[in-house]
Amino acid sequence: MNIVLVTGSAGLIGSESVAFFSDKFDLVIGVDNNLRQYFFGADGSTEWNRDRLQNDFSNYRHYKADIRKVEELEPIFQEYGTDIKLIVHAAAQPSHDWAAREPFTDFSVNATGTLNMLEMNRLHCPDAVFIFTSTNKVYGDNPNNLPLIETETRWEIDHNHPYFENGIDEFMSIDQTKHSLFGASKVAADVLVQEYGRYFGMKTGVFRGGCLTGPNHSGAQLHGFLSYLMKCAITGNHYTIFGYKGKQVRDNIHSYDLVNMFWHYYQNPRSGEVYNAGGGRHANCSMIEAIALCEEISGNKMNYSYSETNRIGDHIWYVSDLTKFKKHYPGWDWTYDLRQTLEQIHDSMAKRLNQPA
Ligand SMILES: NC(=O)c1ccc[n+]([C@@H]2O[C@H](COP(=O)([O-])OP(=O)(O)OC[C@H]3O[C@@H](n4cnc5c(N)ncnc54)[C@H](O)[C@@H]3O)[C@@H](O)[C@H]2O)c1
């Protein structure tokens, strides 16, 4: 039997992984305890998405286990053992602002939880491929030291800089920079995942996400940028832009395209590799450009205000360079551009909120 085990399976990336892999594996095991609701309140609950997976995919089996607790993980790994061929580890505390509220919780989910998963992998199914959803926050605020210029709607990198053409590559330092506590706990996890590949020779891969997005995000104010923005566009709820004149740039990758990267990696894994994974030059926007697009797609004027203070350590300009991944896996490419992604988020969000699409 071939099994894929997905942590954070009711979240954005986890649920996309379940859908993507359901016809490629005999069984999809999901681990998610809806801790996202504890982090972000009702907006963040992923229960609706877990129900959807259970209804839509007959080979999906859900476990409400906590990745912080080995005693809850071990029975699952004991039961399925070497039938587990792929682990997608996407459970996390994903917000840098939230991490400062409860550093113990953040670290235990992001760092210790990842160590727990790696040990389960090593002890019960050492040949399985392990994919970790890391983050561009491992680079801390180093990107803010790049030579940036201000244009009418966005910050942009100097045209003469080597990052101008394709964005930021994996050689940017992750050291001696301000990460936020979230970034620090993800660095710990990121380096552990690399180490299990390099030290133990296991098939571990690190994917450092830019903004990950898609229709199945439970967008909340502190996490899920485009999903929450579109929710505000539809409902008329107030949205606050924090700092940088609203010209901060993020690259956005649709969850399908990211999981398709995992699929390519799974078929030909390279131990301990690190890849930047985002929308790159193909799909990126500033905050005010995103607002304009949301207004256009929803047909509503957004209700937003500007607060001078930026989020601590927030990136001013971040665009991922995917050249390395594309070189290793030339069969992969993006399938969604920004407008298509936002239109899809709009339609599914309108349905979820019971409003006309
Ligand atoms: N969304 C982004 O913009 C973004 C950007 C970069 C990196 N990432 C990383 O990608 C991964 C997936 O992000 P996402 O947007 O899908 O997050 P998400 O919050 O939508 O999904 C994570 C899921 O994990 C679950 N979870 C959290 N703690 C758990 C625990 N202790 N035990 C079991 N389940 C638990 C949550 O309930 C949630 O359903 C995370 O590692 C995140 O740090 C996300």
**What pLDDT does residue 71 have?**
98
The neighbour count for residue 138, using CB atoms within 10 Å, is: 22
Residue nearest to atom 34 of ligand 1 (CA): 32
Two tokens, residue 319: 């665009």
Q: What is the pLDDT of residue 313?
A: 83
CA of 303 to the centre of ligand 1 (A): 28
For residue 189, which of 114, 92, 299, 89 has the smallest C-alpha distance? 114
**How far does the centroid of ligand 1 lie from the alpha carbon of residue 250, in Å?**
18
Pocket of ligand 1 (CB under 6 A): 8, 10-14, 31-36, 46, 66-68, 90-92, 94, 109, 113, 133, 135, 209, 211-212, 217
What does the pLDDT read at residue 121?
98
Element (H or E) spanning 297, and its range? helix 287-298
Q: Angle between the 113-124 and 180-198 helix axes, to the nearest 10 degrees?
A: 20
| Rounded CA separation 340/108 (Å) | 36
Q: How many CA atoms lie within 13 A of 309 on its CB side?
A: 2
What is the separation of C-alpha 79 from the centre of its chain, rounded to a whole number of angstroms? 29
pLDDT computed for residue 219 by the predictor? 78
CA nearest ligand 1 atom 38, residue: 11
What pLDDT was estimated at residue 355?
64
Pocket test for ligand 1, best of 36, 223, 227 (most atoms within 8 A of CB): 36
For ligand 1, the distance from its centroid to the CA atom of residue 294, given in whole angstroms, is 24
**pLDDT in the model for residue 354:** 77
Backbone phi, then psi, for 345, in 5-degree steps?
A: -60, -45
Q: What's the confidence (pLDDT) of residue 138?
A: 98
Q: Output the six-digit token pair for 351.
A: 């349905």
| Among 133, 223, 256, residue to substitute to test ligand 1 (most atoms within 8 Å of Cβ) | 133
- CA of 288 from ligand 1 middle (Å) equals 26
Q: Which helix (H) or strand (E) holds 53?
A: helix 47-56
| Residue 356, pLDDT score | 58
Cα(212) to ligand 1 centroid in Å equals: 10
Q: Which residues of the chain have pLDDT under 70?
A: 355-357
186: left (phi over 0), alpha (psi -120 to 50) or beta: alpha
> How far does the centroid of ligand 1 lie from the alpha carbon of residue 8, in Å?
6
Contact call for residues 206 and 134 (beta carbons, < 8 A):
yes
User: What is the spatial distance between Cα 308 and Cα 244, in angstroms, rounded to a whole number?
Assistant: 8
| Triad 65, 221, 6: Cα angle to 5° | 25
Q: Are strands 3-7 and 84-89 parallel, antiparallel or unpaired?
A: parallel
Ligand 1 atom nearest the C-alpha of 137 is: 6
In whole angstroms, what is the distance from residue 197 CA to residue 199 CA?
Answer: 6
**Tokens coding 341:** 């992604």
